[in-house]
Copies of this chain bind each other. A is one copy, B any other.
Amino acid sequence: SEVKKIAVIAGDGIGPEVVAEAEKVLKVTEEVFGYKFETEHALFGGIAIDEKGTPLPAETLDICKSADAVLLGAVGGPKWDTNPKELRPETGLLGIRKALGLFSNLRPAVVFDCLKDASTLKPEVLEGTDLIVVRELTGGIYFGEKFRRQSEQGEEAVDTCAYNVTEVERIARQAFEIAGKRRGKLASVDKANVLETSRLWREVVIRVAADYPNVELEHVLVDNCAMQLLRRPSSFDVIVTENMFGDILSDEAAMLTGSIGMLASASLGEGSYGLYEPVHGSAPDIAGQGLANPIATILSLALMFRLTFGYEDAAAAIEAAVAQVLDAGHRTSDIAVDKSKAISTSEMGDLIVAAI
């Protein structure tokens, strides 16, 4: 089969360690399934600031653009937190999303059996929770005009939140498509009782809904959604929302599963191109010690195989291998009950490779 090109961004903190394990998995998938991959590493985030003076070097963007998909470890850390805006990893993150047209961020929030008890929610409330937050990723207040000005009440800061019909329609369509392939339920989250952008959002979602008669649509106000995620998490299937609300709600949803360290995410644009990364951060406190859990990154690779390449067999094989290794009782220290029996990052990677 055709050679697929994957841009690999190891990033900061535990990023390089977890990405290294995902690359082992990539290799064994080639051998087992006959797919062919070519990888190219690129600097991004804090390490790019250190080595190239910018979080998103032009060369990195070129590598990503010429690839079919991007695998990202994690970026950021306290070292760069007090830098001026242009020299911060987040700026690179926003830049790469915009430059690659990744307007949609999918964050599945599922409960892993072996982590059922890790949630702070009662098990009976969590039971059956399996939802996806579809977050708009290149619009809204993140990308609107920002400035300072003098006012009569001292200096004033301004952020602008804008959404146009095209932006809302494409993310809405994607969410309806996803919901149609799942349990057929879509919750569109907005603040239409206050925001003009939310009123436009709701109008467009209602219009798009006409094309998806088999998907049941509800509108939920963002404050109410923050509550309902706690009260009835298992009743959600797909949640679609704008950038800022999605940032907050996807983190709340991930955390309530108790499985945040194991969750994968995908950022997609038009077509099949996508950037895949674990939901967890760069965890600088444990970086370089072989303690990190590579599973979320490995599952992000599985998501890439499914969503970008259509390699469902390989995606399913990776997911099954992860489940098998967990079922056999192997745990990295973050998810180990008995920390003294915890295995290392690379041991976990090797076990998953062996199981594939």
Interface residues contributed by chain A, number (CB under 8 Å): 58
**Complex CA–CA separation, A90 to B255 (angstroms):** 31
Does A88 lie within 8 Å of B141, measured CB to CB? no
How far is B222's CA from A255's CA once the two chains are assembled, in angstroms? 14
Q: Decide if A163 touches B156 in the complex (CB within 8 Å).
A: yes
Judge if A248 is at the interface, Cβ distance under 8 Å: yes
Contacts of A166 in B (CB 8 A): 153-154
The A220-276 residues at the B interface (CB cut-off 8 A) are 222-224, 226-227, 230-231, 244-245, 247-252, 254-256, 260
How many copies of this chain does one complex carry? 2
Chain B nearest CB from A312 CB (Å) reads 32
B222 touches A247 (CB 8 A): yes
Q: How far is the CB of A87 from chain B (nearest CB, A)?
A: 13
A165 touches B161 (CB 8 A): no
Which of B158, B162, B231, B250 is A162 in contact with, Cβ under 8 Å? B158
| Structural contact, B196 and A158, CB atoms closer than 8 A | yes
Query: Would B156 and A164 count as touching, CB distance under 8 A?
Result: yes
Instruction: List B contacts of A260 (CB < 8 A).
Output: 227
Find the residue from A144, A159, A249 having the highest chain B CB count within 10 A: A159
Nearest CB on B from A278, distance (A): 15
| Cβ of A122 under 8 Å from chain B | yes
Asked whether A194 is an interface residue with its Cβ less than 8 Å from the other chain, the reply is yes
Q: Output the nearest chain B residue to A194 by Cβ-Cβ distance.
A: B142
Type the 1/0 row for A88-109, where 1 means its CB is closer than 8 Å to any CB of B.
1010001000000000000000
Report whether A148 and B196 are in contact in the complex, using a CB–CB cutoff of 8 Å.
yes
The answer to whether the Cβ of A200 comes within 8 Å of any Cβ in the partner chain is: yes
Contact of A256 among B196, B223, B230 (CB under 8 A): B230
A157 to B242, CA, bound (A): 13
Specify which chain B residues have a CB less than 8 angstroms from the CB of A125 in the assembled complex: 120
A144, A157, A227 interface centre (most CB from chain B within 10 Å): A157
Question: Which B residues are in CB contact (< 8 Å) with A224?
Answer: 251
- Whether the Cβ atoms of B154 and A162 lie closer than 8 Å is no
Q: A227 and B255: CB pair below 8 A?
A: yes
Interface pair A251/B227, CB less than 8 Å apart: yes
Chain B residues in 8 Å Cβ range of A151: 164
For residue A146, CB closer than 8 A to chain B, the reply is yes
Known A153-B167, A154-B164, A164-B151; contact A197-B252, beta-carbon cutoff 8 A: no
Does A155 reach chain B (CB closer than 8 Å)? yes
The 7 A-B pairs at the shortest CB distance, nearest first, are namely: A154-B165, A153-B166, A157-B200, A156-B164, A146-B196, A227-B255, A226-B252
Residues of A within 8 A of B (CB): 88, 90, 94, 120-122, 125, 141-142, 144, 146-148, 151, 153-167, 169, 191, 193-197, 199-201, 222-224, 226-227, 230-231, 244-245, 247-252, 254-256, 260
Beyond A141-B159, A155-B200, A159-B195, 15 extra complex contacts between A and B, CB < 8 Å? A120-B122, A156-B162, A156-B164, A156-B165, A157-B197, A157-B199, A157-B201, A159-B160, A161-B161, A222-B248, A223-B247, A224-B251, A226-B252, A227-B251, A231-B255
- 23 CB-based A-B contacts, threshold 8 Å: A94-B194, A120-B125, A121-B121, A141-B141, A141-B159, A146-B195, A148-B196, A154-B164, A155-B165, A157-B162, A157-B163, A157-B196, A158-B162, A158-B196, A158-B197, A159-B161, A159-B162, A191-B247, A223-B248, A224-B251, A226-B248, A245-B248, A252-B252
